[in-house]
């Protein structure tokens, strides 16, 4: 289950961001997970909540946005595609380059700081 190693890295980044802003804690983390990344969003959220115990992120809401594959075609431009298996443009059938779908990254972190509520975007 490689979601655990992703969760540990995400926690490390979020903790660094919280320290950088002198935050009391983290209230919410929003993640972006490409459907072709091989990462299960629900398992990642579960692992992240487990490894967050005792950290600034303990008790934080974890949102995972799963992103559909996108292709870019030199003839048609960018075309969002769901469930793509081969990098072929759904409009014209020509070979296309797969974009934005093997990634897992932190989209947004909401921190609890002295001045009410701050938001840090990564």
The confidence band for 5, taking pLDDT boundaries of 50, 70 and 90, is very high
List of long-range contacts for 62-65, beta carbons under 8 Å, 24+ apart: 62/28, 62/29, 62/31, 63/28, 63/29, 63/30, 63/31, 64/30, 64/31, 64/33, 65/30, 65/31, 65/32, 65/33, 65/107
DSSP string, 80-92: E-SS--S-B-TTT
User: In this predicted structure, what is the pLDDT of residue 47?
Assistant: 96
Task: Quote the percentage of the chain above a pLDDT of 90.
Answer: 54
For 58-103, write each residue's pLDDT tens digit.
999 999 999 877 777 777 776 655 555 667 777 777 777 766 667 8
Alpha-carbon distance 81 to 33, whole Å?
15
pTM listed for this prediction:
0.76
What are the structural domains of the chain?
Answer: 3-68+101-120 (3.30.2320.50)
User: In this predicted structure, what is the pLDDT of residue 82?
Assistant: 55
- Does 31 score more than 90 pLDDT? yes
């Amino acid at each position: 289950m490689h979601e655990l190693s992703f969760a540990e890295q995400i926690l490390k980044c979020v903790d660094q961001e919280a320290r950088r802003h002198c935050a009391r804690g983290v209230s919410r983390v929003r993640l972006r997970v490409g459907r072709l990344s091989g990462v299960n969003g629900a398992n990642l959220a579960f692992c992240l909540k487990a490894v967050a115990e005792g950290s600034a992120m303990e008790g934080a809401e974890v949102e995972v946005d799963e992103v559909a594959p996108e292709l870019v075609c030199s003839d048609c431009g960018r075309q969002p595609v769901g469930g793509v298996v081969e990098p072929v443009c759904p409009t014209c059938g020509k070979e296309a380059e797969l974009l934005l779908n093997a990634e897992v990254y932190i989209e947004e972190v909401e921190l609890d700081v002295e001045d009410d509520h701050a938001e840090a975007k990564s």
